Amino acid sequence: VYLLDEGDVRARCRAYREAFGDADVLYAAKAFLCRAMTHWVREEGLGLDVCSAGELELAVTAGFPADRIVLHGNAKSPDDLRAALRLGVGRIVIDSASEIARLAAAVPPGSRQKVLVRVVPGIAAGGHAKIRTGTDDQKFGLSIADGSARHAVARILGQPTLELVGLHCHLGSQITTDKPYLCAVRRLVGLMARIRDQHGVPLPELDLGGGYGIAYRPGEQALDVAALARKVRAELAEGCAAAGLPVPRLAVEPGRAIAGPAGVALYRVLAVKRTGTLTFVAVDGGMSDNPRPALYGVRYAPRLVGRRSTAGEARVTVVGRHCEAGDVLAADTPLPADVRPGDLLAVPVAGAYHLSMASGYNLVGRPPVVAVADGHARLLVRRESLDDFRGRDVGL
């Protein structure tokens, strides 16, 4: 089961609002989304960043204002774009040149859709190569270096149904220093100045994305958000003054940094196996509910909960129940030496990119999400059941 601390989520939303002042703070729904989460972030004054028609529909049908939503995606489907236009999404982020004409043709007659251009600033940042998105060798965005971004801007400005309101970039995930963001501000301000000089258009918005790093284990570094906000605002003001530009309205997109630390994954130990020098502690979940260790080599710090142990510490490998040797949740991690079947293990910092990336592997079923607040618990997302598996399988 996933436990999610509502008070912690709300406090982190407020911390971002306070740090960034009058900037737009958009919660990145890809980290974790459910109807309750949309209510929490809306009530705390945040907007929303979504990546599909599914995320968009869930948010809007839960009462989230569509005009406070930004739609992303490197390969938006026709359904994604139709849903965004039908529901009146606030911004659509253009990610490729081919998207421009398709979106422009889909906008209803007599209306205009506000768009941003996702720019690749050529900055390598992030905790792993698979989550670095600010360089020219990955699938997102339009490059500054090869002129793709400027070409896209020119094409958008020629489309009467599209209103270009700004630039967007996202450098990656798990970034723990402010230098990449400050470098991105400088490069995007430079591009905004060139757009102003070439087209006479000062763009009023700048979205710097998210990717703010958090600590998954004791001693790991996390990004100082308050310090980052001060430096980014100063860098933006200084750069715009030097270029003779009005300071654009800033937007940021925290996801993991809001949901991640607020979540705990709770597992039941099913088996303990000692082979040679290794001890494997197998639990009732694994890569189907948390693929991140297998994908990125992420490390967690499980804790024994529910009983006190006086045993000494042992180094163990916590593994899942799935049919993969790589189904490892935590390698070489300390747990009490008397850990046994039936014990409960809690994995902190499990609120982001767990359930949102969960799969149906081995038909184990996705776990439920339970919110805790003021000493009370309530079910937000029910456990996936055998009836769900049977109901989706309609052929024979």
Q: Tell me if 380 sits within 8 A of 36, measured CB to CB.
A: yes
Q: Among residues 89, 28, 31, which one has the least CA distance to residue 57?
A: 89
b/e 77-88 (16+ beta carbons within 10 angstroms → b): eeebbebbbebe
Residue 287, CB-side half-sphere exposure with 13 Å CA sphere: 17
Backbone angles phi, psi at 20, to 5 degrees: -95, 5
| 60 sits in which H/E element | helix 53-61
**58 in helix, strand or coil?**
helix
**18 in helix, strand or coil?**
helix
Distances (CA, A) of 21 to 100, 250, 254, 256: 32, 10, 15, 20
Q: Among residues 329, 373, 389, 382, which one has the least CA distance to residue 10?
A: 373
| 71 sits in which H/E element | strand 69-71
Q: How many residues does the chain have?
A: 396
**79 in helix, strand or coil?**
helix
14: its two tokens = 């407020």
Cα angle at 202 between 196 and 206, to 5 degrees?
A: 115
Residues pairing with 163 in the sheet: 114
How far from chain centre, in Å, is Cα 192? 26
Which one from 34, 169, 240, 323 is the annotated catalytic residue? 323
Active site residue 323: yes
Give me the amino acid identity at 208. Answer: L
Q: Tell me if 121 sits within 8 A of 99, measured CB to CB.
A: no
121: its two tokens = 């600033």
Strands 162-168 and 113-120: parallel
Residues involved in catalysis:
323
